Amino acid sequence: MTWPANGLTKIELLVCMGVIGLLTVIGAAGWRQVLPTYRLDVCIRGLCTATQIARIRSIRDNTVVTVTLDARKRRYEAFVDDGSGAGATAKNGIRESMERLIVSRALPAGIEVHRVTFPAKRLRFNSRGMPQGGGSFYLKNARDQYKGISVGFSGSITIKTSTNGGRTWKKL
């Protein structure tokens, strides 16, 4: 078979465009299934990283560092809770005036706070990097998949997952 000197025929071009369109539709449908799981994984790993950074920073700066997960504002943040600035109170677990912000991230679309089990709904590391009470941050996505991080009394941080609506959890 010989090719025409001026390229593809209209029919060949339409067949190629149809195949490309079909592959695009199949790929987009698959991506919509993967995206909620990907967003949950990225968010929980980001929260775990922020928690590890907060622990390291508390040891390095020899001060209290707090990590909060706010369901209403849909964000998590870590800050040095040292009472810096006029009228600020140290070690109260609330970011005030000039207290240094370490990490602040918004939750991705479709990710919700499932539960926070830390005392006073926030995690605080003392100047030795030890948490003031163990607990967990749990998140869920639009497909009802659940993941969380737990911080033990010794400061160990683990990622967990649940397959039954957040009733039982296992380490990843």
The mean pLDDT of 110-124, rounded to a whole number, is: 94
Annotate 94-105 with DSSP letters as a single string. S--TTPPEEEEE
Give the pLDDT of residue 9.
84
For the whole model, what pTM was predicted? Answer: 0.82
Amino acid residing at 33: Q
Second-level CATH architecture of 43-171: 3-Layer(bab) Sandwich (3.55)
pLDDT tens, residue by residue, 69-106: 999 999 999 999 998 888 888 888 888 878 999 999 99
What's the pLDDT band for 50 if we cut at 50, 70, 90? very high
Q: Which residues of 115-140 are buried (b: 16+ CB within 10 A; e: fewer)?
A: bbebeebbbbbbeebbbbebbbbbbb
**How many angstroms separate the CA atoms of 80 and 57, rounded?**
8
Token readout for 62 is: 């020899």
Domain ranges of the chain: 43-171
Tell me which range, 20-29, 52-61, 84-93, 95-104, is most confidently predicted by mean pLDDT: 52-61
* pLDDT above 80: residue 5: no
